[in-house]
Amino acid sequence: MGSTRQDWNDFRVYGVGQSHFSYETFEFDGNVTVFTSPDSSFTAIADAIDNANESICLNLYQFHNFYLMDRIIDAIERGVEVKMMLEGGPVNGIADEERYIASKTVTAGGDVRFMISDGDRGIHDRYAFNHAKYAIIDDETTIVTSENWKNTGVPINNTFGNRGWGIIINNPDTADYWSSVFVEDWKPASKDSFPFTSDDPIYGNKYGSPPPNFVPDRTILTGNYASPFYSEIVSGKFNVSPVLSPDTSLLETKSIIGMIKGANDSVYVEQLYTRNWGTHADPKPNPFLEATINASRRGCEVKILLDSVYAGKNEEMSEYLNDIAAVISRNDFAL
């Protein structure tokens, strides 16, 4: 993808080997499917996999959901080519559930790679984490989610799980963009792209099969969430602008920050947490947060919803934001 001078007007710090995809907008007449977790994510994603005819390219930070694995393996068995990229060093390491899914996928005929880092052997991953959550199906359909493909992120039973968001975009041009991203992420020539390998002479089964005595737990968890939103197919004219980190997420005049800066009426934010950047000793402003606060200052209705799991830090941020809101005369800024 080409780039312009304006694409470099951002906060990004560039790393060796990282991609630099330009910010693109795809205009088309068609349809997209929007869905939420825990309400309708499993059904939406599973149906999309079931409708695959030729290929599935999947890049995930974590994949622990055996019921989505079943759909992937079914796709392979009916002749669909499957490539799966996973993070090689997630927080707390690769779970046996994920090794099991990777092993079953490879045994069925799919390809699995991990993005790894091993400084002792001169392998440096291109990104701090491969934190992606996207899939491209048949070079026509793109799935992007906020949640990992885990039992909490994409639960089978919609009374339990995380709040998350997702979209399925049916447009070849958009899919072509994401396919280019996947090819760059997959990149077997890069040292940090390591194939699923059992009994590796260096890594053993770190990027291979789970222990022989591993038994998958297929318990379907349930909860008390009682108001599910159903997925919805929306048809019409669309302008779709993919946002990649670190490529285009920090552009000052386009992408997310640019959209917030251009808001006229309202900005609603739902985040696990938000905080200022830098350290306590050397704090730095968070450009997303600053743009949101400035939207309130110019009269937009601004609401920010944070998660209670990070209660301590989120409470501090809530107090910080509400103190600012108290001195802004024209707003409906609330937490």
Say how far apart CA 315 and CA 304 lie, in whole Å: 12
First to last CA, the chain: 39
Q: What is the pTM of this model?
A: 0.92
| 48 and 187 share one domain | yes
At 268, is the pLDDT very low, low, confident or very high (cuts 50, 70, 90)?
A: very high
Residue 247 has pLDDT above 50, yes or no: yes
| 287 and 177 share one domain | no
**57 and 72 Cβ atoms separated by less than 8 Å:** no
| 164 and 290 share one domain | no
Residue 2 has pLDDT above 80, yes or no: no
- Of 195, 229, 260, at which residue does a domain stop? 195
| 188 and 45 share one domain | yes
Say how far apart CA 173 and CA 25 lie, in whole Å: 10
| 124 and 254 share one domain | no
Give the range of the structural domain holding residue 309, as residue numbers without chain letter. 243-326
Residue 220 has pLDDT above 70, yes or no: yes
What is the torsional sign of CA 141, 143, 149, 153? negative
At 335, is the pLDDT very low, low, confident or very high (cuts 50, 70, 90)?
A: low
Q: Is residue 222 part of a domain?
A: no
What is the torsional sign of CA 291, 293, 299, 304? positive
**Tell me: the pLDDT tens digits for 157-183?**
999 999 999 999 999 999 999 999 999
Q: Structural domain tally of the chain?
A: 2
| 34 and 131 share one domain | yes
CA 333 to each of CA 294, 305, 325: distance values in angstroms, whole numbers, following the listed order? 11, 11, 6
What CATH number corresponds to the domain at position 76?
Answer: 3.30.870.10
Check whether the bond before 38 is cis (ω within 30° of 0): yes
Residue 3 has pLDDT above 70, yes or no: no
Say how far apart CA 267 and CA 256 lie, in whole Å: 11
Residue 273 has pLDDT above 50, yes or no: yes
Q: Is residue 232 part of a domain?
A: no
The pair of three-digit structure tokens given for residue 220, joined into one six-digit string: 């379907």
134-148: average pLDDT: 99
pLDDT at position 61: 99
| 42 and 181 share one domain | yes
Q: Is 122 left (phi over 0), alpha (psi -120 to 50) or beta?
A: left
**What b/e sequence results for 47-70 when a residue is b if at least 16 CB atoms lie within 10 Å of its CB, and e otherwise?**
ebbeebeebbbbbbbbbbbbebbe
Q: Is residue 79 part of a domain?
A: yes
Write down the mean pLDDT value for the chain: 93
